[in-house]
Each structure stands twice: as structure tokens, then as C-alpha cells.
Amino acid sequence: MDVRRSVAVLSTNGPERRIEEGKMAKENFRKAVVVGTGLMGPGIAVTLASAGCEVSLYGLDQELTDEGMRSVRAAVTTLREGRRLAAADGEAILERVQGTIDLETAAATADIITESIIENLKAKQDLFLRVERVCPPDAVITSNTSGLPAAQLAGVLARPERFAVTHFWNPPHIMPLVEIIKGEKTSEDTIESLLSLLRRAGKKPVVVRKDTPGQLGNRLLHALIREAYWVVQEGIASPEDVDTAIKYGLGRRFPVYSLLEHLDIIGLDMVLAIQSYMCQALCNETEPARVLREKVAAGNLGLKTGQGFFDWHKRDAKLLLKRRDSFLVELLKAETGPPGD
């Protein structure tokens, strides 16, 4: 088989950008296994298929696997409708992704195995032991965990140097960011190979070189979550106004004009002057917010129960998520120009 054929990439550098499959840091990412058919796994499968990999999407049973494959088709449809993927390339991606309930057979010839299952350390470790028994000795193993330490996840492996966390952001087939978290024993070859693969898929990977709680993106996110909950708890603003301030204020400029760039442009002396009094006023609690604990204790868990900070009986969550995906696709267009540019 000629593995250097051209493939289209779901790219932030243009929807029709084409590359040669055989060019990468390590010539071994041709077969991939994605474990997990829920929220993230299907989108990750589409991403790896867009880089030219033949992908096996593993589910615990046939029903879950079939549901995962429906999600794969839906992801490709979203990209097609948003003109981020040509029809022929969408068909090629769909041909590259196959569902399976036989993990051992799929892993036996895999070059990369990525898990996206429940956030439970033992469950993930058990899975890694299971695939390490059968996968090739040079196969890379990664986790999509959003917070579990890379060193602990890799601690059960005989070859932890080939393990890293690859934290995709939701929805993974649209969001450009992927965080590669280096464990204590992760090799630089593993990091470089993953960077190459993810760039082939059109992603914007970053390397987190210290295995710290929250990785990179979630550390920033949870600092904002803590302040947002505190503002609501203290009666400074309503949940609706907090979200409005984020949507129509800082959130509007971050895609092209991000935080540290902004601070450099306005002047670090001014930032220092503002921080000298703002840091004293910000929430510095080391426990989850009281208002959050009260909501959970009352059984108001958000969408899943119909009531959280908002009344979800009066809001259409499916429509909101569809609008989110459409907006994110349009944002990619704004960054890269129309198809054919």
C-alpha cells in the first residue's frame, strides 16, 4: 500500500490543505485504536482518520459501538455542512473509521492507542495493562484524561516512555487545541511524534512539560470558574450576567488576541499597578464554592436534572450545542479564509 498518498486535513491552516501521509517524525502512525464511544471518542477517531490513520473505534458492546459510529458520521456531517471538509474527503475519513468490539485484535497491530473512557484511575490503568499485553512494542499509548496525573496513569506500564496524555478539547473534531502532557518518563521521541501527528490533523498542540493538576487549559478555566461562582455567591452579578460578560467581553477577543498578548500590548507596568489591588479582591478559596456545594446537595446538577444555575426546562440544550458547533466551524473559517484560499 502506498502510504504517502495525499489526504485532506481538518486544518486551521485551510480546509483543503493537503499533505503526504508518509511524512512525520516517526513512520509508524498508520493504524490507531480509540477506546471509548461517548462524548469524546468519536471526534478523536475523526481527527486521527483525518491525518490518514486507519482507526478502530472500540466500544464495550455492539450497541455502544454502533452509537459511536453514528457520532462519527454526525461529526463528519458537521464539518461538511460547515465547508471545512470536501465531500470526497469526508467519505475517505468515514472509510478509515471502523467500529469494533474486539480490542485485543485491533490493538495487536496498532501504532497508537488513545483512551477516552471514564475519569477513573484504576479503570484507565486496567485498560493500559490490557492493551500493552498485545500491542506492538513501539506503539504509543495516550489518555484523553482532563486531570489525572500522567505519571500515575503510566505507572503500571512496562514501557512508560511511550505514554503521554493527549487532552483533546470538546468537541474534538472541531476544537484546534490538544494538550500533550509529558509524564516523568515520557520520551522526547514520543512527544515529537505526537506533535507531528496532531499537526497533520490540523490541530494546535501544546506541550505541558510538568505533570501538574489541571494540565494547562483546565488550570486557566478553573481559575475563571472559581471567580464566576464567587461573583454569583456574593450577589455581585446574576448567572446570566456573568455568562453575558464572558460571551460578549473577554471571550470575543481571545480567539485572535489572547491574554498574554493583550497584557504585553497594554503595558506590564499598568498590569502591575492593577494587579496590586485586584489580587487582594479576587476569590482565593481553596475549596469548591459554597454556592456550588449547595446546588449539588439540593440535587440541582444542571442539565441532567433540569435545574442548575439555569432552568433547563426552559432552555433547549440541543439547540445550544448545535449553535456552539456551528459557531466554532465559522470561527475556523474566519481564521483560515473560505475553501480554496
Q: From first to last of its 341 residues, what are the pLDDT tens digits of the chain? A: 333 333 344 433 333 333 333 333 455 699 999 999 999 999 999 999 999 999 999 999 999 999 999 999 999 999 998 888 888 899 999 999 999 999 999 999 999 999 999 999 999 999 999 999 999 999 999 999 988 999 999 999 999 999 999 999 999 999 999 999 999 999 999 999 999 999 999 999 999 999 988 899 999 999 999 999 999 999 999 999 999 999 999 999 998 889 999 999 999 999 999 999 999 999 999 999 999 999 999 999 999 999 999 999 999 999 999 999 999 998 887 876 554 44
Question: CA 131 to CA 140: how far, in whole Å?
Answer: 11
Say if strands 18-20 and 6-8 run parallel, antiparallel, or are unpaired.
antiparallel
Q: What is the homologous superfamily of the domain 6-208 according to CATH?
A: NAD(P)-binding Rossmann-like Domain (3.40.50.720)
Q: Looking at domain 217-336, does it have CATH number 1.10.1040.10?
A: yes
Question: CA 173 to CA 93: how far, in whole Å?
Answer: 12
Domain boundaries, the chain: 6-208, 217-336
Neighbours of 334 (CB within 10 A): 10
What is the Cα 9 distance to its own chain's centre? 17
Q: 209: Cβ–Cβ under 8 A, 6 or more apart, which residues?
A: 182
Global pTM reads 0.84
> Among 139, 60, 52, which residue's Cα sits nearest to residue 99?
60
